[in-house]
Structure 1
C-alpha cells in the first residue's frame, strides 16, 4: 500500500488555469464572485461546478460558490473529479495529506480519507492527483469562500455507478459535508450545437437521470454515481448557470460547455 506523504501536493496548474501569485489570485476570485448573480436557493448539500481555466469557466463556477456565502458553511468538502491524466479504474485518493495552492494549504480530512481507503474501489495514487486540474481549480474557490475547510479529493476513473453511489453514501454522513462534482460538459463543438447538446444534458441532470455519457460530460463516471445517490436521497436540483467558453471567452467555433447546478435536501 502506498504510504502517506505529509508534504502537501503542490499546485500543478497555477499560473496557467488561474493566477499563480496570491494577490492576483485573490483579486480574480473576488472579481468573479462579485460579478456572479446573487441567486436564491436552499442551502446546497452538493454542487456541480466546471473546471476549466478561470477565464473560461470561472464566471459559471463563481455562481455556484457565491451561493455558499448565503448559507451556514460546511465543515468538510468532498471533491470528485475525472481522471484526465492517467488511465484509472476505480477511485483514487491522494498520497498527500494536504493540497497547496497560492492561497495556502487545505488538509485532507483524515477520518473520511481513512474510511474511503477501506473500500475495494479506492486506491491511493500520487500519480492520479499529481497533474490533475479538475480538483485543483476548485481549491482556490473553496479557500476564498469557505476558508481552510478539510477536503476529501477523489479522482474518479471508470467505475460502476452503484458502487460509487455506495462509496459516496458511506462518506456523506451529515449536513455539514458538502459534495462537489467537478465536470465540464460538451467539448469542442460549434457554439449553437454545444448549447443544444448541453441543454439536453442539463435536463438529464435536473431529472437525476444517471445515463450520462463521457461525450456529454468529462465527469460522467462521477456524475453517474452521484445521481444514483441523489435519487436515493431525493435531492432537489436547481440550475444556476449554463454557458460555454464561447459566451465567456468569445470564440464560437469550438467551445466547451459549463453548468453550475445546486442540490438541496428535500423539504421536511
Structure 2
C-alpha cells in the first residue's frame, strides 16, 4: 500500500501535530461561519505562515458530519499536463493521521479514460494538494474513519477541456455527501513572476492588485465559466488555480442549467503576502470562498 509522505511538513507548515493543531484552532476560531454548509470551497496553498489564516475562512464553512468524500483539485506546478491526473498512492500522510484515497471513485474516474496517473515523486514534489490535507484532517478529525479523499492534479486545460471535466465531475458535485476543495492562490505579482500589471487609477501597486483580484472574484461568484475565461484573457491574471476553478465553474453550470440545483458562491477573505509599492517588490494574493446549495 503506497503512502504519499507529507513532503512539505516541517517547512511549509509544522510537522508537529500539537503545534499545527494549535495554529489551526487559532485561525479557525478567528473565522466566522457565514456561508455554509459548504459543498465546495476555494482556498490557497502557500506556506501556512502566509495563507493559513485566510484558508480558515473557507474551512470554517464546512459541516464535517455531512462529508463522506473530499475531492481535492489542485494545479500542477512542476509537470505539464494536458489533462488531469490521479495519484498512485493509497494513503496521504499528515502530521495528524493518514487520509485514505477513495479507490471506488478512482476506479470510476479511471474508467472514463480521461485521467493519467502521476508518479509518486511528482505527487510528493507538488504542494497544491498537500497544503489542504492538514486542514482537511483537522476539520474531519471526529469522523476520520468515515471519509475518503479524491486527489486530482489539474493540468493546463483549454476551456473545452475544463468543460469536459466539469461535465464529468458534475454528478459528484451534486452529491451532498461530497465536498470539493479547489486549490488556488490569486495574483502572483512582480518581475520574478513576469507579471507587473499596474492600473495607476487605483492608487499604489498593491491597491491595483486588489482591484484586479476583486474583479476576478466577482466574476467567479457569478458561476459563469466563459466570463472567467474572458477575464483571464483580458488581464492575464496569474491565478495559479485558474483551471481547477474553471472545472468547478463548469460543473456548477451543468447543475444550474439542469434546473434542479440553485447555488451561491461567495468570497469570504482576501489577503496579500506583502504590499507592493514599487516595481522591485513582489507578492502573492490569497482568497477563500465557499459554495453552498440553496
TM-score, length-scaled by structure 1 = 0.89
**Residue-by-residue CA offset, 1:154-181 (whole Å, 9 max, x unaligned):** 0000231111102212443510100110
User: Is the CA contact (8 Å cut-off) linking 1:128 and 1:155 kept in structure 2?
Assistant: no
Equivalent runs, 1:42-191 vs 2, <5 Å: 42-69=36-63, 72-126=65-119, 127-147=121-141, 148=144, 149-159=147-157, 160-172=161-173, 174-189=175-190, 190-191=205-206
Pick which of 163-172 and 7-16 moved more: 163-172
Structure 2 alignment gaps of length 5 or more: 191-204, 257-262
- What is the SS of the residue equivalent to 1:60? helix
User: Shift of residue 195 of structure 1?
Assistant: 0.7
**Partner of residue 238, structure 1:** 266
CA distance in 1, matches of 2:122, 2:15: 22
User: Is the CA contact (8 Å cut-off) linking 2:99 and 2:148 kept in structure 1?
Assistant: yes
CA distance in 1, matches of 2:65, 2:185: 27
CA distance in 2, matches of 1:47, 1:25: 21
**Residue-by-residue CA offset, 1:105-128 (whole Å, 9 max, x unaligned):** 000011111111112220111243
Query: Considering only CA atoms, is the larger Rg found in Structure 1 or Structure 2?
Result: 2
Q: Does 1:13 align with 2:1?
A: no
User: Is the CA contact (8 Å cut-off) linking 1:90 and 1:158 kept in structure 2?
Assistant: yes
Structure 1 alignment gaps of length 5 or more: 1-5
**Residue-by-residue CA offset, 1:177-208 (whole Å, 9 max, x unaligned):** 00110001100244222211111110111111
Pick which of 232-241 and 209-218 moved more: 209-218
Number of equivalenced pairs: 256
User: Is the CA contact (8 Å cut-off) linking 1:115 and 1:171 kept in structure 2?
Assistant: no
CA distance in 2, matches of 1:163, 1:12: 32
User: Is the CA contact (8 Å cut-off) linking 1:92 and 1:128 kept in structure 2?
Assistant: no
TM-score, length-scaled by structure 2 = 0.82
User: Is the CA contact (8 Å cut-off) linking 2:94 and 2:133 kept in structure 1?
Assistant: yes
Instruction: Please point out which of 200, 203, 207 is paired with 2:222.
Output: 207
CA distance in 1, matches of 2:35, 2:246: 24
